[in-house]
Structure 1
């Protein structure tokens, strides 16, 4: 690695390169903002253009156009996505067992800022969140019943279909996805805390492109990260509002329509604003700990109520995941390409498009961990928790389908947003479980919104870790506004169109991640001699 990459020179060079916007920045600071003008200005401008276009274009047309683009990318680059993601898993495993694993984020004497439990709660809430509740029942059931194809085209509603349904679900939510997050998070954390560079995507590429990282090459990367993060969060917030509203209607019989959905968004946004005002320790960490406590209580209750089924499905899922890991990772010679494109390749694109957001947030809270400790915790612990969660909820759902129990047993998947509540309806204390899940849905969205706001603050302020409070409020408000406007204008069609648009950013970001691996190795090797 270039010997010029040291803390003092990097910070000095960054200051020199950014003096061209410093006067404008000072003018904005007096109003409570601390912004990086090229990134903040262009990102805000593109958001305004998007919202204006959204008000003019037919939602169905936008959805069809963006879906066609997304499907074309995933069909033409399926092998590239699959092998790139396999490489990310291999790369992180090599780092874990290599001598580089001893390097500590923040320097040899650095101490962790957060307890292990709080750290895990925050990274899990930001990285997984609502997906567990939304897909924990729906995805295994979909694979088992051939709702939209089955892995390896197995015969649906069979014992083999059950094992593969559970295995494929964990495959799509397990090691591969978290390896993507881990690479981005580790790269950002290392260059921010060990090399003194700004906490921004551009900093990772300093060892390769040098000072050009502070120019337009870096601006473009950061702008893409802002847009992918903001629109990804807005999409999830909108879809989550629909699920929460559906749950409230199902449990309490109150059909508030679009008004209820907008009220959910407003409530989540207000709490997220309060959280970001209090910062990491006073807001995000507290909510994340509450979040994981609720999730743990819900999981334990469901395991107890479905004990006989769960005690079979958990070990079965673990064994099936291990047995099918290689087969599901291989994109060649598959006769289930429709399923692979619709599920696995889409998931890899979605994980990659979210990696700037989740990776940066994990980086921000991970100072003081060794590379080995960091990678093991970020990759394996969430995968293990996800396995237990999906095996529990998915196992019970599949059992209900197989034994013709409840709504799922009678009609299969009819409404994905209600599939979890349909499972509860056929269980003891179903109303209690439904209320707990609605609360958990809301908390998950709040933690995603506040952590996302902090990430966007950091990028648009030039990589600063603590942006001013008004700026945090601004971005949390923008997220909620975009979600609300999308629901008001076109409902689900607009949300799905935006989701397709976000996924298309995965193609350029995959190349960014591959280059990031090279840069990370160069950076880690520069400190290897300190740990001999």
Structure 2
């Protein structure tokens, strides 16, 4: 079964209705709704804090296992697929969508918050400063990116390797099978769409408060609701322009720009600040994070009940927040990660953003400590206690060119929000369009405007806290389901790996398959076959061989047919095997650059491909019996694979 329509009315209209109901509750019954939601959040974090902590640890272990296991060689796409984006753009996009904006807000404020009220040290001491950075690393490090990464792997694996829709419903395919195409799948996509919109709209609302705070601090512009709604309107316009430009233009260009500005800002603070101290701190902070890593991952303060509120307000809150954002960020990362091996993906998603995050948090966090402890700049502590959104701008005041740096910071915050909202609009649009991203522009425009409108309404009516709490509450049922999805992923990976092993031994060396004299074969190596030679081989050898073997399959009561795509110079045999995976054997003519020793600019290959993608060997010049033998051998391997996995 397949979903081919570019618009799913069940998901679209249900998402709009659910969102409208939540908005109504958050606005009309603001205080009582928030009280109930907060009570539910407190109950879950206090009762099931162990579940969040354990789940985050299991997810991280699963990602590390995938990196080192045989499954790491499996591609997120066909075997012959190449990465859709270069490494630089890929890193920039996943970083900007994942947590770029959070670093702007919490880079200075969070280390100082833990310094003022640490969970296990004397407040405002050197020991508290060390512990503060370690905790900040823990909250923003490998665990967060593992949560995003595991969702992205699940979605990319089933979408690009097994042709399921690129929506959250596909993560549940190993558990419920074809039910993902019915109401169950629609319900999952509605859940993901509502959670994404709630999370992004509330983040946009809070981010606008920081932008307004920056304008107020720098230029004396009054912090008013009208000004904040105006900022949301301006950001929404740019989000709309970016979204209608597509990933390759809008999101990619904005993400690359943000990454460049982020690196420059870090370098400015590094050079203009206490450089030697910061380099030492990067090494020591990383060492402290590594040495305390296992203990922090399983620390529930079981022997100190007074720390329950701290754990629920920080670590459990963060894990729930990353989990609530994971359908959105995971889908976006999956969208831009086609063609990468699982090992390459895990290394890129886990360690590159985490490494940059550690540098960022050290440069800003330790510079803040240097100002507070070394220079007695207590105004920074006062700013954090009064309004965390002001902390970054008060911090930058102590550096040369502070106005320029603050202007860059405001610009970066705005760009990060545009990128996040743009990515979210694209993801929601895909959820409502059966995983398609080439949808009509009105759909993208609708979700861009909706995100801005929801943020503005909540900001005006004071309902941001309520919707944010709902987004966090959604993490609990989603985490339970995610554990089942991970089991399904590993089950599917084992089957895929078994099949890869059965295909690993090629049945015929290249020279055995040819019926030509050795003199002719040598001439082919020197001259290399051109397009006419390849087309002649396709007509005179491949098609007759396919016709003969299809007839033989049919004689043995098997459903077999030949499928040809002349536009792409592809042809394959499809053998249906009931409820089990069909057998596909195909040939695709490929043009390649000729080697230096050969004549001509290009030569042609007749590459074999199976259901998993290209197999990397060329059979152009083989005899018809040799081609038939190769098909039979590949069919034998396919049946052996089915036998091993039954």
| Distance across 1 between alignment mates of 2:345 and 2:424 | 21
Q: Does 1:512 align with 2:486?
A: no
- Of the three residues 323, 329, 349, the one matched with 2:291 is 323
Which residue does 2:140 correspond to in 1?
A: 173
- Range that drifts further, 201-210 or 288-297: 201-210
- Of the three residues 32, 36, 52, the one matched with 1:81 is 52
Give TM-score scaled by structure 1 length: 0.91
The answer (yes or no) to whether the contact 1:413–1:419 under 8 Å persists in 2 is: no
| Distance across 1 between alignment mates of 2:295 and 2:380 | 29
- Of the three residues 344, 351, 372, the one matched with 1:373 is 344
- Of the three residues 447, 451, 455, the one matched with 1:479 is 451
CA distance 1:334–1:214, change in 2 (3 Å): farther
| Distance across 2 between alignment mates of 1:204 and 1:414 | 43
Which residue does 2:319 correspond to in 1?
A: 348
Q: Does 1:461 align with 2:410?
A: no
Q: Does 1:53 align with 2:25?
A: yes
Residue 207 of structure 1: how far off its partner (Å)? 2.2
Which residue does 1:233 correspond to in 2?
A: 200
Q: 1:365-422: per-residue Cα shift (whole Å, max 9, x none)?
A: 0011100000111011111110000011011112222231251256763210001111
Richer in strand (by share): 2
The answer (yes or no) to whether the contact 2:213–2:223 under 8 Å persists in 1 is: no
CA distance 1:287–1:46, change in 2 (3 Å): same
Which residue does 2:105 correspond to in 1?
A: 134
| Distance across 2 between alignment mates of 1:89 and 1:409 | 34
> Between Structure 1 and Structure 2, whose CA radius of gyration is higher?
2
| Distance across 2 between alignment mates of 1:523 and 1:434 | 49
Residue 65 of structure 1: how far off its partner (Å)? 2.5
The aligned runs of 1:96-175 (5 Å cut-off) are 96-146=67-117, 150-151=118-119, 153-175=120-142
Residue 489 of structure 1: how far off its partner (Å)? 1.1
| Distance across 2 between alignment mates of 1:251 and 1:262 | 19
CA distance 1:411–1:180, change in 2 (3 Å): closer
Q: 1:328-351: per-residue Cα shift (whole Å, max 9, x none)?
A: 112343523222111000000000
| Distance across 2 between alignment mates of 1:269 and 1:334 | 48
Which residue does 2:500 correspond to in 1?
A: 530
Which residue does 1:71 correspond to in 2?
A: 42
- Range that drifts further, 261-270 or 34-43: 34-43
Q: 1:153-187: per-residue Cα shift (whole Å, max 9, x none)?
A: 21112222111100100100110111010000011
The answer (yes or no) to whether the contact 2:169–2:188 under 8 Å persists in 1 is: yes
Residue 303 of structure 1: how far off its partner (Å)? 0.8
Please, which runs of 5 or more residues in structure 1 have no aligned partner?
Answer: 1-12, 23-33
| Distance across 2 between alignment mates of 1:107 and 1:530 | 12
The answer (yes or no) to whether the contact 1:105–1:190 under 8 Å persists in 2 is: yes
- Of the three residues 235, 244, 248, the one matched with 1:281 is 248
Which residue does 1:384 correspond to in 2?
A: 355
- Range that drifts further, 403-412 or 236-245: 403-412
Which residue does 2:225 correspond to in 1?
A: 258
Aligned length: 496
Which residue does 1:3 correspond to in 2?
A: none
Which residue does 1:313 correspond to in 2?
A: 281
Residue 49 of structure 1: how far off its partner (Å)? 2.0
CA distance 1:521–1:411, change in 2 (3 Å): closer
Residue 92 of structure 1: how far off its partner (Å)? 0.7
Q: Does 1:408 align with 2:380?
A: yes
Residue 63 of structure 1: how far off its partner (Å)? 2.7
Q: How large is the Cα RMSD of the aligned pairs? A: 1.5
| Distance across 2 between alignment mates of 1:122 and 1:443 | 12
| Distance across 1 between alignment mates of 2:33 and 2:406 | 34
The answer (yes or no) to whether the contact 1:402–1:409 under 8 Å persists in 2 is: no
Counterpart secondary structure, 2:385: coil
Richer in helix (by share): 1
Runs of 4+ more than 6 Å apart: none
Q: Does 1:420 align with 2:392?
A: yes
| Distance across 1 between alignment mates of 2:270 and 2:465 | 33
- Of the three residues 14, 17, 39, the one matched with 2:2 is 14
Higher relative contact order (CA 8 A, sep 6+): 1
